[in-house]
Amino acid sequence: MSVPEIEAIRKFVFERILNQDTRTKSVNLFGAIDSQPAIIIAEKTAFPTDSDILESFSKETHLPALSLIEHNDIYHWFLASLESGELPRCANAKLTLIYPATETHVRKYSAQSLRMVTETAAIYKEFVLPYINTKRENGRLNWVYNILEKKKESESIIIEDTDDREGFMLLPDLKWDRKTMNSLYTMALVRRRDVTSIRDLKKKDAPWLRRLQKNILQGLCSKYPDLEEDQIKLYVHYHPSYYHFHIHAVAVSHDGGSGQAAGKALLLQTVISQLESLGGDQEAGLADVDFTFFLGEESELWQNVFSNMKKGGKTA
């Protein structure tokens, strides 16, 4: 027995794309059914969580088509098809393999509740700075240095300034398909290795950051003529996912979820203005400022520092 609604959608004649969102994996299509205007909003469904289905990732036959996009140190990125089909045209999944994964990775990618915390200058210097230093040891930033030294991903460079002090390298983030300007997502790695996060920035760095801001915006608009500077937002994270200073350059229209939320992202212009308004001489910096942000309960900072402080105990 036919269902009228199903019969109607099968008659849909596609005309054009109204909108697409690479984060939510949705697309809005305009067309017609029986010569009447019609819109289809198509969204990819979530992966099933039944263990018997997810265990199929352990089977060689589960991914009939698999193509390596890039690899760098312990990180590997693939396009995959869960059914037979030619890549990349028929890819219906993008896979990131972290191997070998550390306990820090397991914590980062686990479901967890969030907590708001305030990191004072004193807490930063006594407890957080030693933590940051450990995250820069034992080759943890090798994958970043591989990029800066052009050992990896050199073919993906969008903009490059080779000056050791002022320079940076701008690359596409794997969240971006490198075609859709509304979902533009790029990242600028600075060449300086003495800046781990915004905490290392000083008043004297404001002119450098202004030049970075100008060069990134102008470079992107030169590379992609359809873009205008006021369609791009530049921001940094505190705390970042890795401790080598970098700037996110993203389309204003791109919905970045929690990564662009208050309590995680700080607009670069705001950081520059804050530095310029600091009292004191040129050595005054953000190491002496209080910052409020959110942390996951599985994060090391929450478990080893802020959770213990909340309980009135000693930090690890």
Q: Where in the sequence numbering do the catalytic residues fall? A: 246
Nearest CA-CA partner of 19 in 175, 259, 183, 173: 183
Q: Is 183 annotated among the ligand-binding residues?
A: no
Round to whole Å and give the CA distance between 256 and 184: 11
Residue 57, annotated as binding a ligand: no
Nearest residue to 208 via CA among 129, 241, 249, 200: 200
Nearest of 264, 255, 237, 258 to residue 116 by alpha carbon = 264
* 108 is annotated as contributing to ligand binding: no
- Residue 88 in marked binding region: no
241 in a labelled binding site: yes
Which among 307, 308, 145, 153 is positioned nearest to 242, based on CA atoms?
145
110: region left, alpha or beta (phi > 0 left; psi from -120 to 50 alpha):
beta
Query: Would the annotation count 240 as a binding residue?
Result: yes
Which segments within 57-164 are labelled E, that is strand?
A: 65-72, 75-81, 93-98, 114-119, 159-161
Is the Cβ–Cβ distance between 174 and 187 less than 8 Å? no
Q: Please tell me whether 302 is known to bind a ligand.
A: no
Residue 105 marked ligand-binding: no
127 is in an annotated binding site: no
Binding residues: 143, 153, 173, 175, 237-248
Binding residues for substrate: 143, 153, 173, 175, 237-248
